[in-house]
Structure 1
Amino acid sequence: MSTPNLSIVIPVYNEEATLATLFARLYPALDALGESYEVVFVNDGSRDRSAAILREQFEARPDVTRVILFGANAGQHMAIMAGFEHCRGEIIVTLDADLQNPPEEIGKLVAKMREGHDYVGSIRRKRQDSLFRTWASKAMNRLREKITRIKITDQGNMLRAYSRSVVNAINSCKEVATFIPALAYTFARSPAEVVVEHEERAAGESKYSLYSLIRLNFDLMTGFSLVPLQWFSMLGIFVSLGSAALFVLLIARRLIVGPEAEGLFTLFALMFFLIGLALFGIGLLGEYIGRIYQQVRHRPRYLVEAILERDTEQSS
């Protein structure tokens, strides 16, 4: 098999309801580009019939279809990492299987890459998500940009294009927890963004719960910046200075006015605030230590059960 110009990497997790529609739209959209391509599906330990459907699609289009089957769920970003390590294209595009990003929009990213960019992100024109999720995403985007200095307008959108050099740099990293768009941004010399359409989910439910989204943002901020620790250190300094000033004030008041019996609940409130602050700091420190703990164990990031692809020697 010759090296294709374009690789499409699609992580799949419990998407049996959308795969048939995805196939019907994806392949014609890629054929229309006039580029040699391959589609790399990564089944991330799905518990439904997704793996069987992907096997059937490989048998139907073995010339341009490859399937990586995980033995267990490893998460969306690890599935994309596996796709990056096995894809062969010069331009690599990531796409979710839920059809919220139309496959027909891939051409916009490819055209932008042809202008000389090595990383192209996408911005959803009109998000088809709930108001709370849209607002929360925008708020986290602003906070993340201040902390990490990584400028990604729409961090939740996985429709993105990467050059081979950027993907090779990503593959050289051995992190067990990362955020691929942000990691790519740190390696890109000429990043760009394009506006794309966004549709409602074709079927099923989002695989990201509120807890998963919070965890993802913790990984993003602690994985690319020490600013949270630095901010907390500064806050600790200010609280210590404030506590010292309050202590001096109370001693002076006691000497001048005398002891007071009131203010007990104010003291409790101040104490609970400081205890909460300390617990938050311990939790933040634990995030960084937890990342170190995961890294030093050297466990495999994902387990590949099988790879379905055409024999390159027979096809050449």
Structure 2
Amino acid sequence: MLLEKQSVYLSVVVPVYNEEACLEDLYARLTAVCDGLGKPYEIIFTNDGSKDNSAEILDALHKRRPQQIRVIHFNGNFGQHMAIMAAFERVRGEIIVNMDADMQNPPEEIPKLLAEYEKGYDYVGSYRKERDDSFILRSLPSLILNKIRGAVTDIHIKDQGCMFRAYSRRVVDLITQCDESSTFVTALGYKFAANPTEIGVEHQARLQGDSKYDVYKLVRVTFDLFTGFSMAPLQVFTLFGFVVSALSGCLVAYLLMRRFIFGPEAEGLFTLFAISFFLISVAITGIGIVGEYVGRIYEVVRRRPRFLIRQVVEVSQDEATSPSSAMKEQQHVS
């Protein structure tokens, strides 16, 4: 980890990308929930290269509560999971909760995660009990991809698209030891947890702003999960190759027998063309899957930074825990 850890009960990690419309409301609701816990906490916002005024708003939020609000500014857009990883490398809390800035999972649900964590679990996942989204554009694609991901990988998470989760410090420390450029934080947490569980949480429609995920990005995330946590796609194509080779051998033997018995025939030529085109398309798909794995190996070999941090806005650790700072914060809140 990059920073010395301190006695903080809760760290809330929030990746932010073009969420200027949500941040003020998020700040008010999130700090109210955390204040109600009566324990030390911090909130880390990672600005993932936002193009709107999110950066300025986050800096202003830090000034309101410098001891509790920390802001990481990326040099560009590196993706939601890299934004989470950057914050994970800097958290100080005993429990780490990750949530999205759009508040579709309400901050008021955080105590539910903490109550489950206190029962002895080191990873508390969540699933959306009733999604308040477009069924065709969001809910249905997520449902289908969740089923496919669960079948292909050994990551048995009910709602893999829900980022609202609580992690123990040990699990987060293990996650930050992984340095692959394409990763899936929730799946890593599940893999490293000794005693994981899941609970149902409320889900609300976006009150402001637009979703940053579309069907293409959902498919892209699915590919990342497949290639990062399973060899099944390669194994399936290897098995399929053996089966097709056997069937092709049988077909060749059958056609030779017909030629010797009935002589040259023109019938079935288009069928052979159709079979050939099908096998060629399958081969191209297999090459694409192999390319996904090779591409990830290439990214690792290049060893380029997974993300670039332009600025970290925070007070020093000593200032954050000093009695005088706590008194100033108390006066500010009152």
- What TM-score range do you get, normalising by the shorter chain? over 0.9
CA distance in 1, matches of 2:186, 2:120: 18
The answer for the alignment partner of 2:266 in structure 1 is 261
The answer for the alignment partner of 1:143 in structure 2 is 148
* Mapping for residues 188-227 of structure 1, pairs under 5 Å: 188-227=193-232
Cα-to-partner distance string for 1:33-67 (whole Å, 9 max, x where unaligned): 22221000000000100000000000011121100
Please tell me the residue identity of whatever aligns with 2:279. Answer: L
The one of 229, 244, 247 aligned to 2:249: 244
CA distance in 2, matches of 1:240, 1:129: 45
Cα-to-partner distance string for 1:197-217 (whole Å, 9 max, x where unaligned): 000012221111222111110
The answer for the alignment partner of 1:99 in structure 2 is 103
Please tell me the residue identity of whatever aligns with 1:200. Answer: A
Structure 1 residue 287 corresponds to structure 2 residue 297: no
The answer for the alignment partner of 1:61 in structure 2 is 65
The one of 214, 231, 234 aligned to 1:229: 234
Structure 1 residue 186 corresponds to structure 2 residue 187: no
The answer for the alignment partner of 1:89 in structure 2 is 93
The Cα of 1:2 is off from its aligned counterpart by 4.8
* Mapping for residues 93-132 of structure 1, pairs under 5 Å: 93-132=97-136
Q: CA RMSD in A?
A: 1.2
The answer for the alignment partner of 1:43 in structure 2 is 47
The answer for the alignment partner of 2:181 in structure 1 is 176
Please tell me the residue identity of whatever aligns with 2:292. Answer: E
Structure 1 residue 303 corresponds to structure 2 residue 308: yes
* Mapping for residues 154-169 of structure 1, pairs under 5 Å: 154-169=159-174
The one of 152, 162, 170 aligned to 2:157: 152
Please tell me the residue identity of whatever aligns with 1:270. Answer: I
Please tell me the residue identity of whatever aligns with 2:76. Answer: A
CA distance in 2, matches of 1:270, 1:115: 58
Q: How many residues align?
A: 316
CA distance in 2, matches of 1:55, 1:241: 64
CA distance in 1, matches of 2:271, 2:212: 44
Q: Which runs of 5+ in 2 are unaligned?
A: 323-334
**SS in structure 1 at match of 2:93:** coil
Whether contact under 8 Å (2:142, 2:218) holds in the other structure is: no
Whether contact under 8 Å (2:227, 2:292) holds in the other structure is: yes
CA distance in 2, matches of 1:69, 1:189: 33
Q: Which moved more, 1:60-69 or 1:28-37?
A: 28-37
The Cα of 1:311 is off from its aligned counterpart by 2.1
CA distance in 1, matches of 2:272, 2:135: 40
Structure 1 residue 3 corresponds to structure 2 residue 17: no
CA distance in 2, matches of 1:57, 1:311: 17
The Cα of 1:139 is off from its aligned counterpart by 1.9
CA distance in 1, matches of 2:160, 2:191: 14
**SS in structure 2 at match of 1:16:** coil
CA distance in 2, matches of 1:87, 1:120: 18
CA distance in 2, matches of 1:154, 1:30: 25
The Cα of 1:266 is off from its aligned counterpart by 1.3
**SS in structure 1 at match of 2:92:** coil
Cα-to-partner distance string for 1:215-266 (whole Å, 9 max, x where unaligned): 1100001100111100110000001111111111111111112222122221
Whether contact under 8 Å (2:6, 2:92) holds in the other structure is: no
Task: Compute the TM-score of the two structures, normalised by the length of structure 2.
Answer: 0.92
CA distance in 2, matches of 1:38, 1:288: 38
CA distance in 1, matches of 2:253, 2:135: 49
Cα-to-partner distance string for 1:52-101 (whole Å, 9 max, x where unaligned): 00000000111211000111111000000001001100100000001111
Percent identity, aligned pairs only, is 54
CA distance in 1, matches of 2:46, 2:90: 10
CA distance in 1, matches of 2:88, 2:40: 17
Please tell me the residue identity of whatever aligns with 1:48. Answer: D
The answer for the alignment partner of 1:75 in structure 2 is 79
**SS in structure 2 at match of 1:161:** strand
